[in-house]
Chain A
């Protein structure tokens, strides 16, 4: 009798295990996502391609891997910056970060967004620089200031701030953070 009980327990255990295994097999099958996908667009920091890449090379910038963008675009960026802004016209002209056109162009050409995993994440908050990008960060004014503001950030004030400082809808404090559509 005892033997039969133990035997049935063994069967029960085996059956349960089999059930577990069945459950795993029953996870929904994924759709077929096969195929080769090729880069169409890419972006790290805001507005880089838009502002600093010359018209004939915008598609090329989108399809050059970041590790090769510096070699391919840094020189173009430096020329563009010194042409665009009188405050970066010569090697002695520097921006708020202390970078001249050549150095700033070199930094921006590798178009990746650096994000801190330890501290505050922000594009610029008055203290931290380029440690991420929040929805609320006024990235355009930051970039205008770095291009037109000169050493102290105020050389051409009328071009260093577009005077739109915030979004037209409040962001959420919880996931998914972006506001509902209009």
Chain B
């Protein structure tokens, strides 16, 4: 029975014929290879009363390419926070670079600024930080209990993407053990903000997602 399943699986995978593009790296034609291409999104408890949001973009940067990597001043990164379970953002955090500085606005009400197009929430509280150059110690900006960072970092994502591609391509039927991390030694451009839970709903569950928006 198991043998049958594996044979069936191989046939399925051959028919499937898709190339796997990792967490969200270069996953869609319109954004792959652009400064708006999100590679990953993380949200976790940092300090016990705070949540950390991480948006990584521009994946697979080699160490040689990393000193020249930069944030695009025409790309707005938007963290969306839904506090009532309807998958519509109630709060937003905006991050946008200008002249070597990353400006973070919010968390602030998403009222009038939900959906696929909008404007920078520049009327809300701002936290700023100098973008950390490659090779420098991390600059950390603070505003009350909010901390922010922007700059190149090691890509925290790990996966044997190459082997997955071989499996999907019908050239292999199983993962290797141990596997090889395809993202080892590569960097991303990271935007990180840590905010008090009290500013994003306090208790219960939130739904979150990240967008890059361009003008």
A residues contacting B by CB (< 8 A) are 30-31, 33-44, 46-47, 49-51, 55, 58-59, 61-63, 65-67, 69-70, 83-87, 110-118, 120-122, 131-135, 138-140, 155-156, 158-159, 161-169, 171, 175-182
Contact = CB atoms under 8 A, between A and B. Distances in A.
Given A139-B23, A178-B154, 15 more contacts: A31-B103, A37-B76, A37-B117, A42-B211, A47-B22, A66-B88, A66-B207, A86-B5, A112-B82, A117-B202, A117-B203, A134-B42, A135-B42, A162-B163, A181-B61
Interface in B172-215: 173-181, 183-187, 190, 192, 194, 197, 200-215
Interface string B36-69: 1110111111100001101000000101001000
**Which A-B residue pairs are the 6 nearest by beta carbons?**
A158-B174, A37-B213, A58-B28, A176-B149, A163-B179, A112-B207
B57 to A, nearest CB: 8
Contacts of B179: 162-164
Given A33-B122, A39-B212, A178 B153 contact: yes
A158 B175 contact: yes
A164 B178 contact: yes
Contacts of A169: 154
Interface residues of B, number: 107
Contacts of A58: 27-29
B46 to A, nearest CB: 7
B131 interface: no
Interface of B: 2, 5-6, 8-9, 12-13, 15-16, 18, 20-24, 27-31, 34, 36-38, 40-46, 51-52, 54, 61, 63, 66, 75-76, 80, 82, 86-88, 96, 98-99, 103, 114-120, 122, 126, 134, 138, 140, 147, 149, 152-154, 156-160, 163-164, 167, 173-181, 183-187, 190, 192, 194, 197, 200-215
